[in-house]
A = this chain, B = another copy of it.
């Protein structure tokens, strides 16, 4: 007896929707072999009506009404690719309520409402596939959920935003300013016209929220994280970091502490230049996961794009086609719908890179180092650099491990000194990712 095909509906036909559709059409034969059932792209919903016979699909495939797909009893899985957090939430909740499985690439939605959506999926005994929500086609979600199932996860470090990584790579390798690098990223389509989410660290925070929640088995709200973007990074910082043997990456960090609460931050961070994550450049993403038994594992690849992300969507579809009938609530991310608390950065000890611009005159160094000393911050190295501005000096300090709270209050005081010209730049240094919890 021939099995009836497994029918897919896609809601949202932007870059990822189109990539997903292309893959479903091109790989249909191979996927049928892999999933044990024919996977059919049945319907596509989009608000635009001018999609015509895109991809050679008959006009009957397209609709402007996503509910026509959700309410079609012959559809097995609905793929939400509309983005945003309003209509997308309706698509997923209505899909689950209709008794269908959902697949989404929407990290913002999961980071905002994941606990509620996964609780509803459990209630409905349906899956939400979200491999595509973090790191595009790199199977990091599946690795965390299944491949590392034998391990208690202790920490993870991720370069999870391709736009920010592209900008920092351009600044490093081509000596561009932040502004010029951002412009180049926009020209090449790596950054949106409004790049706020990417360069302010919000998109990274969404993704780290998902990874940390999976890793530590509880829902962590990104609003609770320490988040810094890359907008304050100057080409000077890139250069000085390099002189000191470091590379600056927008690094998501999630470390379980002995308190049972994780410390989670997204911030531009100095890591050693010979660290393998330092070699993850341009639009590539990389996640470094430490399990208690396996030790450190690293996953890299392209983090975005219609086809890479579409290939992750398709891996979820194949998974559901294989296992949908078997799937139980135990695969849901946040079983209890509540959220866990995190350790504040104030409680963290770290080494810091500090860049100060001050007047180039006698006594300045004494004032600055006096303030640092008074706050218990000890200096590991200090360089004074010439500034291109006449009369200014640039001071670059590397501290020994200090309480972050003290560094912040010390720099608040330094910023108020009559000898400093600009607000101090401070960046965390992580010397040995392998040694972190």
Q: Which residues of A contact B (CB under 8 A)?
A: 19, 23, 27, 30-31, 33-36, 131, 136-139, 142-143, 146-152, 217, 274, 276, 279-280, 291, 293-302, 307-308, 310-315, 317-319, 322-323, 325-326, 328-331, 335
Q: In the docked arrangement, what's the CA distance between A274 and B149, Å?
A: 33
Count chain B CB atoms within 10 A of each CB in A27, A299, A317, A331 and give the residue with the most. Answer: A299
B330 touches A19 (CB 8 A): no
A291 touches B150 (CB 8 A): no
Cross-chain contact of A298 among B299, B318, B325 (Cβ < 8 A): B299
Q: Which 6 residue pairs spanning A and B have beta carbons closest together?
A: A139-B147, A150-B314, A137-B294, A326-B326, A150-B311, A297-B301
Cross-chain contact of A299 among B27, B297, B326 (Cβ < 8 A): B297
A294 touches B302 (CB 8 A): yes
Count chain B CB atoms within 10 A of each CB in A137, A150, A274, A326 and give the residue with the most. Answer: A150
Count chain B CB atoms within 10 A of each CB in A294, A295, A296, A314 and give the residue with the most. Answer: A294
Which partner residue on chain B sits nearest A288 by CB separation?
A: B300
B150 touches A318 (CB 8 A): yes
B300 touches A294 (CB 8 A): no
Copies assembled: 2
> Separation in Å of the A248 CB from the closest CB of chain B?
18
> Separation in Å of the A134 CB from the closest CB of chain B?
12
18 CB contacts below 8 A, A to B, read: A31-B150, A34-B149, A35-B149, A137-B291, A137-B293, A137-B297, A138-B297, A139-B146, A146-B146, A147-B312, A147-B315, A150-B311, A150-B314, A150-B317, A150-B318, A322-B326, A322-B328, A325-B326
Question: Assuming A146-B142, A326-B325, is B296 touching A297 (CB within 8 A)?
Answer: no
> Separation in Å of the A344 CB from the closest CB of chain B?
26
Count chain B CB atoms within 10 A of each CB in A149, A297, A329, A331 and give the residue with the most. Answer: A149
Inter-chain contacts of A280 with B (CB < 8 A): 276
Which partner residue on chain B sits nearest A22 by CB separation?
A: B293
> Separation in Å of the A271 CB from the closest CB of chain B?
13
Q: In the docked arrangement, what's the CA distance between A317 and B149, Å?
A: 9
A23 touches B293 (CB 8 A): yes
Q: In the docked arrangement, what's the CA distance between A328 and B312, Å?
A: 22
B291 touches A295 (CB 8 A): no
A146 touches B315 (CB 8 A): yes
B19 touches A293 (CB 8 A): yes
A276 touches B300 (CB 8 A): yes
Cross-chain contact of A311 among B36, B276, B291, B325 (Cβ < 8 A): B291
Inter-chain contacts of A136 with B (CB < 8 A): 294
User: Assuming A294-B311, A298-B298, what are 18 further A-B pairs, CB within 8 angstroms?
Assistant: A23-B150, A30-B152, A31-B149, A33-B217, A137-B150, A137-B151, A138-B147, A142-B147, A148-B315, A150-B314, A150-B317, A151-B311, A293-B310, A295-B308, A296-B301, A296-B302, A298-B300, A326-B326
A310 touches B150 (CB 8 A): yes
Inter-chain contacts of A142 with B (CB < 8 A): 139, 142-143, 146-147
Q: In the docked arrangement, what's the CA distance between A430 and B44, Å?
A: 43
Which partner residue on chain B sits nearest A131 by CB separation?
A: B147
Cross-chain contact of A315 among B23, B149, B217 (Cβ < 8 A): B149
Which partner residue on chain B sits nearest A143 by CB separation?
A: B139
